[in-house]
Amino acid sequence: MPELPEVETIIRGLEEGVRGRTFLDAWTDSKTLFKNISFEGLREKIKGKKIKGIRRRGKNILFDLSDSSVLLIHQKITGHLLLGKWQKQGKEWASKTKGALSLDPANRFLRVIFFLSGGLDMALSDLRKFAKIELWEGEDLEEYFKSFGPEPLTIAFEEFKKLFSSKKGKIKQILMDQRFIVGIGNIYASEILWEAKISPFRDAGKIKQEELKRIYSAIKKILKKAIKLQGDSFSDFRTISGQKGRYQNFAKVYQKEGEQCPECGGKIKRIKQGGRSSFFCPSCQK
């Protein structure tokens, strides 16, 4: 699933590409992706509306529209947004843009296309059809986000420390809880804890302040690095131009089972934890 760096990468590309453009029409072959409104209802409501801005809350992409409504897209496990131009060829959509958009197989699972002013299309490619698209009024959306945790790139250390004051559970699973702190998933939780030299199996409530400082610093460092590298494309994620991110080329432990730890030379292990794979170095991470 795209995590904060992947979503932020998409946001930054969209900000440059679609801000100020108007929705002209939309197409879908997957009406089940539309959750709090039907596809037909959303299509009619966004027609003629201008995109005033694009922002992120956790892993959600938010389009602020000219009528004060907000289009929400959550890319989920295999979804990613693309910018380009597509044309119908028989029953399929073909990219008119050369390069990764047309050549990379991960970009061919088009489920939704938004046709924008200025001859640009915004498409959602989603192999497994798990993405979510909703239309909200601003006040209702703010109420919805009240259950979300703080943003990891802007939270101060004192606030971060308070989050742990009465928290129970294993630290890796806590970091992945979107009610605790948003945007961190399996990839970056593993990378952050390796950077901080903390075992993913430690009890969150027993972590000392100096260790919390290491986790806090690691969160900032790893997420910022991943954003700079345009996310991780070990699996399905692609940028808006259809290209792979590069973080997977620099990962220290994620999907590195059996390889040498770059810090101590020990063997990286993978163990199931809460239904997910935890990658860690048992020698370095205590």
Residues with catalytic function:
2-3, 59, 276
Greatest Cα-to-Cα distance within the chain, rounded to the nearest angstrom: 61
The span from the CA of 225 to the CA of 206, in Å, is 28
Q: Output the six-digit token pair for 19.
A: 């801000």
**Strand positions, DSSP E, the chain:** 23-28, 51-57, 60-65, 69-74, 79-84, 86-89, 92-95, 110-116, 120-126, 132-137, 269-273, 276-280
Type and span of the H or E element at 157: helix 157-163
The span from the CA of 52 to the CA of 75, in Å, is 21
- List for the chain the helix, strand, coil content (%; round to 5): 30, 25, 40
**Cβ 104 vs Cβ 262: under 8 Å:** no
**Cα 149–Cα 155–Cα 245 angle in degrees, nearest 5:** 80
The span from the CA of 237 to the CA of 235, in Å, is 6
